[in-house]
Each structure stands twice: as C-alpha cells, then as structure tokens.
Structure 1
Amino acid sequence: MTHNPISTLISLSHLFRLRRDERWMMLAVALLLVALNALTIIHYYGVFTPITDHYWNLFVGNFHISGFDPISYYVVSNWDARYNVYRHPLLAFMMWVPYLLNQALMWMTGINCALFIMTAIQVAAAWYAFLFLYRLLVEVMGLAHTDARLLSFFLYSFAFVMVTAMVPDHFVLSLCVLLIVLYYSGLLITRRLQMSLPAAIVLFVVTAGISLNNGLKVFLSGLVVNGRRFFRPKFLLLAVVVPALVIWVGARYEYHYLVAPGENARHAAIAQKRAEQKREAQLKAQQPSPAQPSPAAAKPKSKRQPKKGKPFMQGEFMRWSDKTSPRVASVVENLFGESIQLHPDYLLQDQSRFRPMIIEYRWAVNYVVEAIIAALFLAGIWMGRRNRLLWLCLSWFGLDVLLHVGIGFGLNEIYIMTAHWIFVIPVAMAALLARPTRWRPLCRGVIVALTLWLYAYNGYHIVKYMLC
C-alpha cells in the first residue's frame, strides 16, 4: 500500500469535531474536569493571582501537589525557557501564545491569570484525550459504545490521571498527543494504510517537543504501522534520523542561547549571596558572645538522607539513573499502586520533600483492587495477543518500563509519569469486552465496580487534600 498523506485519512476538522453520539458523554467529562480544576483554583487563587516580580519563588515555593512542577505557571507569567530543554525542547515555545494572552489579561484585570489559562489548557487536553481514547476503543478495538464509555471513564478514575488533569505540568499534554498518535496509528492499521512521511515528522516534532522520550513512541508507531517499509532509506532518514537530529541540535542551541545566560547569572548571584553570608558569619564569630552555645546546640543538623538510589554511572544523563532502589516494591506500591489508588499516608506529598519512596497501604482492600486490575490487564493481553494496536501499546509500555524501572530514570516518583503509559490498561481490557464470551458480563461488572470504587476513593482523598 502506498503512503497516504494524513489529510486524506482524516481532516483536522473531523478529528476535533464532536459527533452527535458523543455530546452527552463529553459534557459529563467536561463537568468532571472542571470540578477537578476548580479544586486547584480554589486552593491557589489567593497565592498565585497577585502580580509580582518574583514569580519563580512564588510558584515553586508554594505549589505542592505530589512531584509535579508549576513551571508552566512561571513561563506563562514571565516567559523564559525554564523547562529542561533536553527533555522538553519545544514546550517553552508552545507557551508563547498563552504568555501573550496572560499579559493582555494582566493589563485588563490587574491580576495574574496564569492559573486560569493553564486550567483551560489542562481541561482541553484532558478532554480531548478522553475523546480520542473513546474513539480508539470504538473504531479500532471494535467495542460497543457502552463498553467504550465504561473503559474511558475507568481510565479517568485512576488517581494520577485525575491529578494529572488538574496540575500545570506537561503530562496532560503528553497524554493528549500520545492518544492522538495511538488513535491515528490504529486507524492506519485497520484501514491497511501506511504512515506517511509528513505525518511521521509532524507527530514526532509535536510529541518529542513536549517530552523528548515520547518521541520514540512515534518511531515505534511507524515501525508497527509500516512494517518493513519503515526501514526504507528515505523514510528512515527523513522521518527518523533528520527530525531527531534537528530536535537534538535545536535543544543544544536553545540551551546555549536562551538557558545558559540566565542559568549562569542565577548561579553567580547564589554564589555571591553565599559568600556574603560566609563573611557575615565570620565577622559574627569574631565578636565576643555573652554565652557560648553548648556542644549539642553547636552541632550542625544532619542532612536529610537522599531518597534516590545510586546511579549506574556518572554522566550527563546516566547520573539520573538508579540501580539500588527496590524494583518489586516500586512496581507494587507506585507503578500499579499510587498511579491508580492514592496512598492516604503522605497524601499527595512531594517525594523530594517529605514523602518516602515506598509507602504501604493501610488496608488490604487496596491490594485486592490492584491485583484484580493487574489480572484483568494480563487477561486482556492474552485475549488480544494478535491485535497489532495492542502490541503497539505494549511496546510503548515496555519502553517506559525499561527507562523508569530498568534504568531507573524517575523511579523514585514513577507515578507522576502515569499519563505516559496508563492507557494501555483499558486498551488491553478492551480485548475482554470485544467478543461475546461467557466471561464478558462478569468482566464488565467487575470493571463497573472498580470504576465506582476508584472515583469514590480517589475523589475523597483529592478533595480532602485540596480543601482541608
């Protein structure tokens, strides 16, 4: 089959236009997302809306929802390339228009509207992510509309899908674009079409521009969709090698010209401040003191022990690896634990501040729920073992497991990466509901019960944290 431009498969207007049978469902999704983001607005309105000259300290010092970063609030308030440009090479530029909008709103309202602008972006991204998952389940996996709705709402009952939709980090954007890539790839597979060169380039640039490692998933999509044709020299060169080099070289230049000058100035200011504090301490030490402190009082406080394992090796990237942290406990309590059900102890605390890396649940019911979800996931993989789209999802999941569990990148807070892979669970479970077997009613009933439990359990703890 010849390459087919993306515009001949599905137009942008058709892609983003709501269909008649989707309206009531998506209204319910909008209400859910608005309610979640209203909690964030209520919690931070008084802190984040004043106009100031010190936005970085304001946002970073006061935003505390798990390990998520409020850098987007800062960039939309005072544009600067403050993201890690090697991990998010184009994200700062994507925030340029929201920044200009915020400047206009500041002038008109007298308050900083970054909180509201990011809320609109978060709601839109999470809303469309739900829509693309639903369409994927219906049009590619072959589910009935009722079962597709059930699995879509099931995904949005997961703890860190709900939390991701209400925080200003990049993960909700990644969730949206990854599901677009997956939906588009699924349509190509079902229609026996090839991923075109322009489509592969655009999807890679957008996906990798938000989060570089997710760009690899576009390459995996091209491989699964195109098969051997993926390795044709023209496609391999123009859709893989050249875009990857352009993104990487662009990130290096972005760091050199936009990030490094400000970073060096900040480091110099910190060094100067520390030198002044040291001189003041020396002068104070030379002055006579009426009472000498006791040895116990003079003893410096011990530093907090790091909650991150030792790296495999030192280097620009491998220094972030982790070879010593426990893998099994991380998978049970964090990868399939915190990602789906919040731990009530150290609720939504930042692992870099107070939260231990491994927390156990108080109640056995949480482990029962986790085991049932894992069993349904594995059963779905078995039932869908001949489905190419499911294998594409599993290749994405395998990439994340390799990076985060194998090499240990971000293993200490792996749950905040939930949006990069968690949709593989409902896609796998779709194989259990796609065919009329004697087990289908039981599976459907179990998923309904799990969905109700997760909304009640996670919703209670999120509201408790945000309002109490």
Structure 2
Amino acid sequence: MQLFNIFKVKREERWLALAMLAVFVMFNALVIAGHYHAYTMGAHGGFWSIFTKNFRMSGYDNWSWITISGMRIHFETVRHPLYLTFLYPLYLLDSWLIDAVGYNFAVYFMAAILVFSAFYAVVFMYRVFREVLGVTRFDATLLTLFLFSFGHVLVPSMVPDHFIISMMFLTMTLYITGMKMKKGRLLTAWQGCVLTFFTAGMATSNGVKTLLAGLFTNGRRFFSWKNVSLGAVLPFLLLLGIQQSQYYLLEVPQEAVIRNIVHVNREKDARKVEQHINERESWLKSHTGRSAGDGAVGKLMDISTPRGETLVENFFGESVQLHQQYLLKDVSWDRPVFVAYSWAANYVVEAVVVLLFVAGIVSGCRERFFRMLFAWFACDVTLHLVLGFAINEVYIMTAGWAFIIPVACGYLLRRLPQRLRRPYRWLLAALTAFLWMYNAGQTAFYLCSRIC
C-alpha cells in the first residue's frame, strides 16, 4: 500500500464522504457566522481579545485562530510540536492578506483544515470497517455514521483546535496497520517514521499509540535496530528539533513581549488586573480537583475528582450525548464539572451504548487488531481516568479514543448469528438516528443562537 495514495477517495466511499463533507462545511460556516464581523477584522493586534471574547465552545481552544492572525502562541508546543509548523505558513499568508485588503482570513484557513481532516477521518474509518473488519457496505456506512453522531466527535470537526486533525492521523494509522495485519505484512521503518512523526507531532501522547500499532503489527521484529532507530527514535528527534527551533525563534521573543504587556497593564490599573487574576484563580480552583503534586507533571494530575461520576456524566455521557443544561459551556468559565441530563432517556441510551461496547470487547478480544485498539483505549483510560489528566473536561478528548466503540460494535455484528443481525442493525440505526438528531440539533441550535 502506497502511504500517500490512500488519500484517493474510492468510488464506493464517495456518497458517504460527500454527504459528511456537506455536514462539516455547514457547521464550520455556522461557527464563522456566529461573530463574522469580529472574526474577520483585519486589525493589527488585539486578536487575543477578539477571539477569546467571542468564541467559547465546551473548553476547546481558539489558539490556532490567534496564531494564524498574529503569531501569538498560547498552546504548549512541547505537547503539540508540529502544530505550529502547520500554522506558520498560514500566518504568513494571512498577514499579507490583512495588509493588502484589511480582512482576516484566519477562520477560513482553519475551517479548511478542519473540514479536510474530518472528511478523511470519515474515509479512513469507513475503510477500517469495510476492509479491515470486512463488513458490508451498508454496515460500514452505518458504523461510520454512528461514530460521527457522538457529540464530541462531531464538535471537534468545527472548533479551531487540533483534535480532529489528530483523529485523522490516528484513523489513518488504524487503517494502514489494520491492512498490514490482515495481509500478514510488516510496517516498514519509514512508514512507522512518517506515522509517528505526524501523530506525535499533533499530540505527543498519540505517538505512544503509533508505537503500539507498530508493535502489534510487527511483533518481535518491531525491536529490530533499523525499526527502533528509524521508526521510533528518528521522528521524536526530528520533532524535538522542530519544537526547540520554534521555541527559541518565536516563543522566547514572544514571552518578553507578553511580560511587557502585563507590566504596562499593571501600571495602568493594577487593581483591575489583580481582581481579574483572583477571580480566574478562584473559579479554576473551585472547578479543578486536587493535584497530585507541585511539580510540572504532578500539577497536571487530578487525584480528587470522582471517577464514578466522571464515567457516567462525562466520559461515556457528554462524550456521546451533549447535556441539555450548560450546553457546550466551558468548565474553565461557566460550566460545572458535572451536569445531569434532563431526560432519563439519555441515561438509557448511554447504558445501551456501554453494553454494546462491552459485548463488542468480548466479541473482538481474540482479534489482534482489536487488541491493539484496546491497548490504545487503555492508554487513554490510564491518562485521563487513573492519573486524572484533564479529567474535569475529559469529553474534549473523545475524538482520540471513541472509534473503539463502533469498531467493537462491528466485531459484535460479525459474531452474532444471522437471525440476530437484522434486529441488531435496527438497534444501531435507531441509536445513530437519535444521536444525530439530538447532538447535531443541539449544536446547530447553539450556533444559530450566537449569530449576530
């Protein structure tokens, strides 16, 4: 399989891909329309205030808009070493356009990236179901639609953050390694290098998943000198070099500018600055659990937030079905950590999804591909639920793990007796239709209410 030929859309994939493309374009248009005049202002400076004042969805960041508009870096490049590399050429183009026509195109550039990534995430997941699992075209379409009906799989396709880009690279990795396993072939060192470079470049934790994929695909041969050096060590060295170059060329000078801005603001109105800082710290403290320590790593880990309630309301709750109250609100600003559903039916739907997931795990546990995917899932559970990283808004990580649910459902479909497959398909179709109407409907309502 040629690594870059997989971006060619096959004939049987076109109708699904085009339909989903229309959905993604529509939702991105609604996001931009929300504060169109503010988002497209060609002002030099002030982009942080413009975007953070007008955009807020569920805790997703708008740093990419700010970076493209004015090269202000607010995300941690250590955790996303390649993200700035993606955005920097767009900043140069946008800066030229702002000077030329006085119009900021940042939201359009980012929307193009999001739509492209979501489009290919659909294509790659369809291929996983169709070619790796070997289900019918109808079932592959149904399972793909089921995945993208999840609340926080759909939402990342329209917010200016990295999650849907990461999902595209992860699903591409699933497809490539799944086909390697099916055909009994090895993942070559250069293929592993490319996949690790891009997945870890978007989020370093995803690099672990790609290495696990290589291990499950190649077995003991994964530990060969060539594979370890080229497929594992080299991409991380390249990413480290890129990140350090960006840090000293762009971030260090920016930090000096920010310190000067803070100093000037304090001189203008020290009381107002202190009041704002104290209010933010008070809110964050009341909405964040107790950290594991005072070190750089310990501060990121939460040891007090209830795990049981997190599983019900956030991990399997908000991730799949958006809550009616505090719809798409941000826990860092205006949402409690836990919100209950207004309808008992939502808990019934959640229970059914979890039961199907568990049954699918039992059905697929003997398959090497599914064991690899479950190892990925175990990484996410360990990071977010055991260690507590970002546990207060764990649902925004959904796009990085939720594909295991429909894959498990696909394995369950394969194991069921023929007489039970039709009612099972009807159940999946009913769930999918409900989740699409519920999540897409609520999201559209939220976005339309913000158009001004």
Question: What TM-score range do you get, normalising by the shorter chain?
Answer: over 0.9
Aligned residue number for residue 331 of structure 1: 311
Deviation, 1:80, is 4.5
Q: What is the distance in 1 between the residues matched to 2:101 and 2:15?
A: 34
Distance change >3 Å, CA 280–CA 187, structure 1 → 2: closer
Deviation track 1:294-348 (CA, whole Å, cap 9, x = no partner) reads xxxxxx9894343111111222222111001111111110111101101111110
1:263 aligns with 2:255: yes
List structure 1 segments (4+ residues) > 4 angstroms apart after TM superposition.
Answer: 278-281
Aligned residue number for residue 442 of structure 2: 461
Deviation, 1:227, is 0.6
Q: AA paired with 1:401?
A: V
TM superposition score normalised by structure 2: 0.93
Deviation track 1:41-67 (CA, whole Å, cap 9, x = no partner) reads 221212201111211221122211110
Paired residues of 2:72 and 2:254 also in contact (CA < 8 A): no
Which stretch of the first structure deviates more once superposed, 121-130 or 225-234?
225-234
Distance change >3 Å, CA 279–CA 455, structure 1 → 2: closer
Q: What is the distance in 2 between the residues matched to 1:280 and 1:114?
A: 31
Aligned residue number for residue 58 of structure 1: 50
Which stretch of the first structure deviates more once superposed, 139-148 or 68-77?
68-77
Q: What is the distance in 2 between the residues matched to 1:121 and 1:19?
A: 21
1:47 aligns with 2:27: no
1:415 aligns with 2:407: no
SS of 2:381 mapped into structure 1: helix
Deviation, 1:408, is 0.8
| Partner residue of 2:113 out of 96, 100, 121 | 121
Deviation, 1:435, is 4.5
Deviation, 1:86, is 0.9
1:158 aligns with 2:150: yes
Deviation, 1:249, is 5.2
Aligned residue number for residue 331 of structure 2: 351
SS of 2:347 mapped into structure 1: helix
Q: What is the distance in 2 between the residues matched to 1:323 and 1:36?
A: 36
Q: For this pair of structures, how many residues does the alignment match?
A: 441
Q: Which structure has more helix as a fraction of its residues?
A: 2
Deviation, 1:278, is 4.3
Measured on the aligned residues, the alpha-carbon RMSD in Å equals: 2.1
Aligned residue number for residue 17 of structure 1: 8
Deviation, 1:111, is 1.5
Which consecutive residues of structure 2, in runs of 5 or more, have no partner in the other structure?
none
Q: What is the distance in 2 between the residues matched to 1:183 and 1:356?
A: 38
Q: What is the distance in 1 between the residues matched to 2:345 and 2:191?
A: 45
Aligned residue number for residue 291 of structure 1: none
SS of 1:313 mapped into structure 2: coil
1:148 aligns with 2:140: yes
Paired residues of 1:68 and 1:167 also in contact (CA < 8 A): yes
Deviation, 1:406, is 0.8
Aligned residue number for residue 296 of structure 2: 316
Paired residues of 1:36 and 1:162 also in contact (CA < 8 A): no
Q: What is the distance in 1 between the residues matched to 2:47 and 2:144?
A: 37
Distance change >3 Å, CA 436–CA 330, structure 1 → 2: closer
Aligned residue number for residue 408 of structure 2: 428
Q: What is the distance in 1 between the residues matched to 2:386 and 2:61?
A: 24
Which consecutive residues of structure 1, in runs of 5 or more, have no partner in the other structure?
1-8, 282-299
User: What is the percent sequence identity of the aligned residues?
Assistant: 38
Deviation track 1:129-163 (CA, whole Å, cap 9, x = no partner) reads 00000011111001101000000011111111111
Q: AA paired with 2:372?
A: L
Q: What is the distance in 1 between the residues matched to 2:424 and 2:2?
A: 33
Q: What is the distance in 2 between the residues matched to 1:25 and 1:451?
A: 15
Aligned residue number for residue 375 of structure 1: 355
1:341 aligns with 2:321: yes
1:402 aligns with 2:382: yes
Q: What is the distance in 2 between the residues matched to 1:254 and 1:20?
A: 41
Q: AA paired with 1:16?
A: F
Paired residues of 1:83 and 1:92 also in contact (CA < 8 A): no
Paired residues of 2:157 and 2:164 also in contact (CA < 8 A): yes
Paired residues of 1:91 and 1:209 also in contact (CA < 8 A): yes
